[in-house]
Structure formats: C-alpha cells, structure tokens
Amino acid sequence: MRNTMRNTTNPSVAPAGIEPGVPFHDLAQWATKAPEGEKLISTAYRDKVTEDLRFVENVPGVHKPDPILVADNVTRRFGGMTAVDVTHFEIERHGITALIGPNGAGKTTFFNLLTGFDTPDTGSWQFDGKDMAHAQPEKAARMGMVRTFQLTKVMSRLTVLDNMLLGAPVQPGEGMFRALFPATWRKQEKANVEKAEALLERFLLIKKKDDYAGSLSGGQRKLLEMARALMSDPQLVMLDEPMAGVNPALKQSLLDHILALREEGTTVLFVEHDMNMVRHIADWVTVMAEGAIVAEGQPKTVMDDPAVVDAYLGAHANIDLGDDSVLDDPGETAETTETAGTPEIEGPSGTAAVAETAKIAKTSGIDAKEASR
C-alpha cells in the first residue's frame, strides 16, 4: 500500500505522533498536530479502498472485500406503502459510500433504521460483525456508528461547546462514577472539553465556542453537527444530506472534512442530492428507488449509466454531472439558505428543549438531564 502522508514544508518528516503507514485514529490530536498553515495529506485509505473495490461487480447487493456493515432483508412499511425493501447491502470499510436516489426513495428511512431511530418490520444487520438490528441510537453510537440529520439537530439554546460535549462518549455508570471518583470524573470532563475544542479548531468554529448554537449559519450548524459526531471517535459516520442548505463557500470545507475522515480511517456513508459532490468524493455509489437498491458501483459507471440517470436520478441528474465548476462558483445561490452571521435564536425551549436535548443526547448515550444542564 502506498502511503503519501506528508508534511508540506518538509516532506521527509511526518509530524510527531504520526507514523507513515500506521493509521492515526486520535481525531482530537490529529486536529492539533498539523503545524500552522500546513495540511496533513494521506491517500493511504483512498488507495486501499480503490484497490479493494476495483474488481467488485457493479450489481445491486454485491459482496465487498471488507464490509464494515452488512444488512439483509430490511423492510419498513408505512400503512400500505413499502418505504424500504433492501435485500442485501454492504458498506466497504474505510470507504466513502454515497446513497443516492430520487425524493421518497427511502434513503432517510433506511438511515433511521440502521441507526436505531426507527424499527424495521423485518431484517437484520451487523456492524463490524455485531448484530445491530435491535440496537437503540445510543448503543449504535457507543459501538461506533453515528449519524447527522438532514435538518440539523444542534441545540440552539446551548453554546457551541456544550453542543459538542453532548457528543462525548458516556462513562459506564456515570452517576455513581461521578459521586465516588470526583477527581477522575473531572479529569474525564477536562479531556472532553479539550477534545471538543480541538475539533472546533479543526472545523473553524473555535471562535464561536461560547456563542449560542442558534446564532450559527446553516452551514456552520452542519459543521457543528459533523464535529459533534466525531466526539465519540466513530468508525462509521452517516451523513444525511450534508450539503443541503450550505453555501458554496462552506461546501468545499465540508468536502475537505469528509475526505479527511477517510484518511483517518473512518468509514463514511452519505445521502446526497448534490451529484457534483457525489462524483467528487465517493468511492462507491449506491442507488435507491422505491425502497430498494437498484444499482451500485464505481461512481463513474453508475452516474454515467443512462438508465440510472433517466430512471433514478431524474430531476437531480442535470444539476452538475460533469460540471466541476459548481463547487467553486460563488454565484451559485440556488441551494444557499444559510444566513451567515445572522442570529436566529429559535428552536426548542422549556420542556420541548429538554425533550429535544434528550433525543440528541440519546445518540451518544448521554444522560439527558446532564445534557440539558
């Protein structure tokens, strides 16, 4: 495997703590290791995934060489309508997999099922070899599987830093642990704050850490939600429409963060309608329509397939297939719904806030009362 991790000022010297060829999993440290003005660039995982997927057949439900998630016969019906009917689905470890398809194809419902936010009528799936079919969101998060939402679920009336701390992994028996070992608990809390700050630094939100999350723009909320998802050092991050509502300036930043995740060894599954993004960063594309997986394969093969374009991408196909300039075009405003710098303290309050906080806290297994303090 070729390793091209390099230090941009002195290519022969990797930053301290980063060994060539050795995956570097400590995200918080990663965020602080790159010297000022430099980027760590590695293609080790991209190379591995490209190699692994090179000879995989482009057929729905195909087996992959090193799957981190394997799902079988997952169905979900709403009344008489079948929203999800997936016979077999695998996600290649360390890869970036895009899940695409027309509106109403069942992508979000499938996400909800896999992460324990909804219950299937039938089906089973294993994450890293462990059965997950009945796992609640907090258990899924503890096991290394976290997600973000199409409409961000940041807590408007909590500070940016407190939102980050909601994503910190829970300590087993936290209440008693805290009472019996206050010093150890304080040490853990300090470590969580340090990790949160390092991630905020990396996601360019550190200056906002004491601001209410409600004052962030739409794009910044997406960044915050992604940063919060990383607090538990997940192995698999599932992003539901990360680009929706993000202005072009922040799109590039989001793309870079997703690419960086792969190079740290994190597996990414994302739902997206922005075909330009899919084509730029996906190692593998899976197409859903009417609840089923109807095509999957190498991005180029799938996205250039006229049958897929006509039948499944529909209205989204003409946006930017083949048009690289969309990412850089500052004049593109069609998807820009964010209002950078405009305070918009809305969102949950009172009991609604507590309920909402509890829901988010559950994804990381946090005690809800603690989260809403």
Ligand X SMILES: Nc1ncnc2c1ncn2[C@@H]1O[C@H](COP(=O)(O)OP(=O)(O)OP(=O)(O)O)[C@@H](O)[C@H]1O
State in angstroms the smallest separation of the CB of 45 from ligand X: 28
Looking only at Cα atoms, what is the longest distance across the chain?
64
State in angstroms the smallest separation of the CB of 290 from ligand X: 9
Please say which residue, 91 or 227, places its beta carbon nearer to ligand X.
91
Please say which residue, 162 or 240, places its beta carbon nearer to ligand X.
240
Please identify which residue in the block is written with the tokens 């190692």: 283
Please say which residue, 147 or 262, places its beta carbon nearer to ligand X.
147
State in angstroms the smallest separation of the CB of 319 from ligand X: 14
State in angstroms the smallest separation of the CB of 177 from ligand X: 37
Q: What is the DSSP letter of 7?
A: -
Q: What DSSP assignment string belongs to 289-313?
A: ETTEEEEEE-HHHHHT-HHHIIIII
CB 245 within 8 A of CB 219: yes
Please say which residue, 76 or 251, places its beta carbon nearer to ligand X.
76
C-alpha–C-alpha distance, residues 267 and 229, integer Å: 13
Q: What DSSP assignment string belongs to 53-121?
A: HTT---STT---SSEEEEEEEEEEEETTEEEEEEEEEEEETT-EEEEE-STTSSHHHHHHHHTTSS--S
What three-state secondary structure class fits 267? strand
Please say which residue, 111 or 284, places its beta carbon nearer to ligand X.
111
C-alpha–C-alpha distance, residues 58 and 278, integer Å: 17
Neighbouring-strand partners of residue 293: 288
State in angstroms the smallest separation of the CB of 315 from ligand X: 11
Please say which residue, 202 or 316, places its beta carbon nearer to ligand X.
316
Please say which residue, 78 or 181, places its beta carbon nearer to ligand X.
78
CB 125 within 8 A of CB 115: no
CB 68 within 8 A of CB 93: yes
State in angstroms the smallest separation of the CB of 91 from ligand X: 17
State in angstroms the smallest separation of the CB of 104 from ligand X: 4
Tokens of 29: 């440290």
Residue ranges in contact with ligand X by CB under 6 A: 78, 83, 101, 103-109
